[in-house]
Chain A
Amino acid sequence: MKIRLNGEPYELAGPLSITALLTGLGIDPRRVAVEHNQIVVKRGAYESTRVEDRDEVEIVNFVGGGSGSGGQENSRD
């Protein structure tokens, strides 16, 4: 099945929970927030929320930023 993940098409074997999706992506659930079809998913509901074909999922985290443009990551050295 195909979902939209962070704005891009993404292929998955079949329906799965948010927990399974994050695990599969190697993402620590404590560090992110997840939106499922434009609704924020509470952490406690990751296990019970099913991602189905054609769903939209956004996974975000905090990055460096002040105002306006924001989101400009600092270099890593």
Chain B
Amino acid sequence: MTDTDPLVIADRTFTSRLIVGTGKYPSYPVMVRAHEASGAEMVTVAVRRVNISDRSQESMLDYIDTARMFLLPNTAACYTADEAIRTARLAREAGLSNWIKLEVIGDEKTLFPDNEALLEATKALVKEGFVVLPYTTDDPVVCRKLQDAGAAAVMPLGAPIGSGLGIQNPNNISIIKEFARVPVIVDAGVGTASDAAIAMELGADAVLMNTGIAGAQDPIAMAEAMKLAVRAGRLAYRAGRMPKRRYATASSPLEGVIGR
């Protein structure tokens, strides 16, 4: 079943439905091994100013095999549409593709997106030929507007970034999935394997996480757990779960019980 179930976003096909980050790992070697264990084929990276005074720092890119791993630059920490658009243009020049994980943050404490600015930036970047993957709240109306604006996928949050709280509004995720014509990628909030499985069981096409893996006691083991959870959740979704019932329904025959 998994062999014939690729994830297709814009013009690219992925076997893995898990997308991982590159921040907050205890070390680069741990990150490399966690990436391998996750089976991910796409990683997010941030765009930041080069340190002018200290050129000795290692480049994160030295630790990523870009032949195997597709780089998805983000506009993390941008607070206006203009900042996000400029960052996207720089990312396209620094990288090898026109893909951008678009974030326009609206609030420092929750890191919730500013959906109005997000929509504006999505429209502008789509017009410039970008493949735009916007990080959004789990609001079906906003997701529909982003889709209509030409987003290549929608990325509703499961819970605040880095919170590990799991999928706070499962109903919204499944409603978003119901009408979406583009892939739905649950981005942020996944804290442990069951959260990833739930996201996939709700019908999400993929899950993106960073802290859920990097913040675990053993990031490499957690990366593998996440890989399995995403696959399990996807299989369960495609298998179609049994209906929920309030009372027991025996699964052994009722006839032939001894002593009656």
Contacts and interface: CB of A to CB of B under 8 A. Distances in A.
Given A33-B94, A35-B90, A8 B24 contact: no
Contact of A71 (B57, B76, B161): B76
A65 B44 contact: yes
Contact of B111 (A41, A62, A69, A75): A69
A10 B53 CA distance: 11
A62 B93 contact: no
Contact of A69 (B59, B71, B162): B162
Interface in A48-71: 58-71
A12 interface: no
B21 A8 contact: no
B186 to A, nearest CB: 12
Chain B interface size range = 35 or more
Nearest to A70: B76
A57 B112 CA distance: 30
B90 A40 contact: yes
B211 to A, nearest CB: 7
A34 B90 CA distance: 7
Given A6-B49, A74-B28, A76-B58, A64 B135 contact: no
Contact of A64 (B24, B95, B161): B24
Contacts of A5: 52
B96 to A, nearest CB: 11
A62 B94 contact: yes
Nearest to B212: A66
Q: Chain B at the A interface: mostly helix, strand, loop or mixed?
A: mixed
Nearest to B162: A68
B123 interface: no
Contacts of B208: 66-67
Interface string A12-54: 0000000000000111000111110010111100000000000
B61 interface: yes
Contacts of B81: none
Contacts of A75: 26-27
Interface in B30-49: 31, 44-49
Residue of A27, A34, A61 with highest tally of chain B CB at under 10 A: A61
A31 B24 CA distance: 21
Given A8-B52, A61-B94, A65-B21, 4 more contacts: A38-B86, A60-B48, A63-B45, A71-B77
Interface of B: 20-28, 31, 44-50, 52, 55, 57-61, 71, 73-74, 76-77, 86-87, 89-95, 101, 103, 105, 111, 135, 161-162, 187-188, 208-211, 214
13 contacts: A32-B94, A33-B91, A35-B86, A58-B90, A60-B48, A62-B48, A64-B22, A64-B45, A66-B23, A66-B74, A67-B44, A67-B111, A74-B28
